[in-house]
Structure 1
Amino acid sequence: MLALFPECRLERRHARRWSVSRRLRVPLLGLALFSALTLTGCTEEPAPSTGPVTLEGDIFGTFYQITIADPVTPGELEEIEQGVLDEMHSVDASMSTWREDSELSAFNQAPLGEWQPLSDELMEVLAISQSVNELSQGAFDVTIGSLVNLWSFGPEARPQEIPDEAVLEQRLAEVGMDAVELDTDKLQARRTRDVYVDLSGVAKGFATDEVAAYLDRQGIDNYLVNLGGEVKVKGRRDGESGLWRIGVEVPRNDTPAAEHIVGLDDISVATSGDYRHYFEQDGKRYSHTIDPRTGRPITHRLASVTVVHPSNAWADAWATALSVMGEDEGMQVANTEHLPVLMLVSQGQGWDSRVSPAFVERFGEDVVDALGLTVVSEASGSLE
């Protein structure tokens, strides 16, 4: 539900299987120079790129796209590509629910009540999850895994049908972040109840942060990281003055279209929405987004929520939480937490676009007015 301009269109995808394919786009000038040097037997390194170059492929059941606007040679780009893949593989090895050998799977299978050593990365994501759970009053809960599986949106791959009510109530009773205790000083955690931790609502955002941090360590000053719609940018798209541009994707006659295009620099954006992933039974639509407080799919009119935050892990978690809450409760919490948020609310055959005051502060009144966005009053929760 985010789109980049003019480089590409993006959509958020929620599958979490791991697969990687690699594609590399380098300016033709660089390729021609490389070929000429090869033919002549020269070992001199080809000249750096003169424009943005892009690494792209498949990851986490969706796609990745890394655009670098700094001058880089083919050799440097190859090394960067391997480093990016290593970062994403590391997150998958730690936090995947699809891999039986992941660190998270081991934690989910560990004996109840026994402290388990955790990596810095998994501890950080669990700590973020715990914080957003508390601030959202339970709307974000990573122990929802057993309910996600029950509703056919997890690795159990159950038939797409409404769960039995008794089974639903049983699994709902098991859910709760109070069953996961963290000892951040000793980097250990334990489950006190047989909860199933599923980090799909935050891990992709964390992976986006990790890739960005890797690029920072390589001295890259101008880049865009996009993992399945989770976006983090730094610097400029042309290495000089042009902001990275994104647009929120909305369906128009079942065809995605990008609207509300804004410029970004040195920030993260995450979007969560429910109009793509659902199943139908007996004429009723069931969203893929499960409310951990009820154990059932959401039914409100909030179709999409976009959160802007320095950390993509936090943005990802908050986007999920606000999607669960709905347009009214979600915007109230966004205002309380001073989050820049853009919501798309279903209105018949169209959409009402609403933003928080913090969104106005981040992008400016001129941008908000030009895009025709409705600001929700921080004081009263009313529309302005």
Structure 2
Amino acid sequence: MRVTRERVMGTELLTVLPAGQAAAVLGWLRDVEATFSRFVPDSDVSRANAGAGRPVAVSGLFLHVLTEAVAYQRRTGGLFSPFLGAELVRLGYDRDFAEVAEVAEVAEVAAHVAPPAAAPDAAAPDDDAAPPEVHLDLDASTVQLPPGVGIDLGGFVKGWSVQAALDALDAPRCLIDAGGDLVARRGENDPPWRVGVEHPLTRTALGVLELPPAAAVATSSVARRAWRGTDGARLHHIVDPRSGQPAVSDCLQATVLADDLAAAEVWATCLTILGTTEGSTHLAELDPAARWLTVDTEGAVRHSPGLPFEATP
């Protein structure tokens, strides 16, 4: 087995793979980045967003992933949406995050996202939620967005592509970690992969997940990718589709263990948006087999029954 470290999709990539297989994984992820990044001018996403209001020719890969994302949008009642690109640009996340203004301190982020005493009620998830009037022509391989709507597939396509990379490998034991969102495989009788979870407030070890033979782990956090808006307000990248604003709940960080990384990405996002109580209930309805761990804005840690988690003493 060989450990490699690279940077791709705006994050650190760690692979633990048989010798000679890391290059193919990295090449695949770079191709995905070139297709889906909002910050690559000639990517399919950038061209679709720039051409809103008319049909834009895109790749079959783009259409496949967007179709998958829309299916999750419907499944979550609209709590997950791939059509928040314009909202992120409006909030100031309009370039690679390394270039976005100063990162907020996590304690200040926690104070900013904690629900105020009289927080306005957000709409409940809608079982009949539909995407904006987006036209996908699979025969012509085009997409047409309504004016004012933008696509952002960021975390979703990262999870989808890392899962696809693992699925294409024939190695019986391997791990691919893209910025803390990871997939791992091992034999039933092999030693388990042990993955650390960090506390978002203290940056110390919260504990360790002992992964089953086939596992996907995703973490959503409002303490990551946070910045200061033009009015001085602290903002973050988890946007609530119901308001178009950064999510406001008691959930500072959510980690989800599932059998597919794209699903885990979506579930973790929904949990963060809804909060620790409503979010965990909603996740149990969406995917009863998924397991979760949350940290709220007071630093309290909760996790689902059956999560293979060993807390740090």
TM-score (norm 2): 0.79
Structure 2 residue aligned with 1:227: 178
Alignment of 1:341-356 (within 5 A): 341-346=291-296, 348=298, 350-355=299-304
Match of 1:270 among 195, 203, 218: 218
How many angstroms does 1:272 deviate by?
A: 0.6
Structure 2 residue aligned with 1:145: 85
Structure 2 residue aligned with 1:38: none
**For the Cα contact (< 8 Å) 1:273–1:305, is it kept in 2?**
yes
Structure 1 or 2, whichever has the larger Rg, is: 1
Distance in 2 separating the partners of 1:90 and 1:67: 20
**For the Cα contact (< 8 Å) 1:142–1:201, is it kept in 2?**
no
Alignment of 1:121-132 (within 5 A): 121-132=61-72
Q: Deviations over 1:230-269 (max 9, x none)?
A: 1011115xx96101111322146x3332314322321211
Match of 1:178 among 119, 124, 132: 132
1:63 maps to 2:12: yes
Distance in 2 separating the partners of 1:309 and 1:334: 11
**For the Cα contact (< 8 Å) 2:52–2:146, is it kept in 1?**
no
1:98 maps to 2:49: no
1:213 maps to 2:154: no
Instruction: Considering Cα pairs closer than 8 Å and 6+ residues apart, tell me whether 1 or 2 has the greater RCO.
Output: 2
Structure 1 residue aligned with 2:113: none
Distance 1:277 1:96, change over 3 A: closer
Counterpart of 1:292 in structure 2: which amino acid?
P
Distance in 2 separating the partners of 1:269 and 1:301: 21
Match of 1:307 among 256, 269, 275: 256
Structure 2 residue aligned with 1:322: 271
Distance 1:59 1:297, change over 3 A: same
Which segment is superposed worse, 301-310 or 96-105? Answer: 301-310
Distance 1:234 1:178, change over 3 A: same
1:120 maps to 2:60: yes
**For the Cα contact (< 8 Å) 1:271–1:316, is it kept in 2?**
yes
Counterpart of 2:209 in structure 1: which amino acid?
I
Structure 1 residue aligned with 2:25: 84
Structure 1 residue aligned with 2:157: 203
Distance in 1 separating the partners of 2:41 and 2:135: 22
**For the Cα contact (< 8 Å) 1:128–1:314, is it kept in 2?**
no
* Secondary structure in 2 matching 1:54: strand
Distance in 2 separating the partners of 1:232 and 1:352: 23
For structure 2, the 5+ residue unaligned runs are: 105-129
Match of 1:292 among 241, 258, 262: 241
Distance 1:201 1:62, change over 3 A: closer
Q: Deviations over 1:50-76 (max 9, x none)?
A: xx31121111221101102x5x4xxxx
**For the Cα contact (< 8 Å) 1:208–1:225, is it kept in 2?**
yes
Counterpart of 2:223 in structure 1: which amino acid?
Y
Distance in 2 separating the partners of 1:344 and 1:111: 37
* Secondary structure in 1 matching 2:148: coil
TM-score (norm 1): 0.65
Distance 1:82 1:261, change over 3 A: closer
Counterpart of 2:39 in structure 1: which amino acid?
W
Match of 2:95 among 155, 177, 194: 155
For structure 1, the 5+ residue unaligned runs are: 1-51, 162-175, 373-384
Counterpart of 1:317 in structure 2: which amino acid?
V
* Secondary structure in 2 matching 1:247: strand
Distance in 2 separating the partners of 1:185 and 1:302: 42
Count the aligned residue pairs: 283
Distance in 2 separating the partners of 1:186 and 1:317: 29
Structure 2 residue aligned with 1:170: none
How many angstroms does 1:87 deviate by?
A: 0.2
Structure 2 residue aligned with 1:247: 196
Distance in 2 separating the partners of 1:185 and 1:263: 41
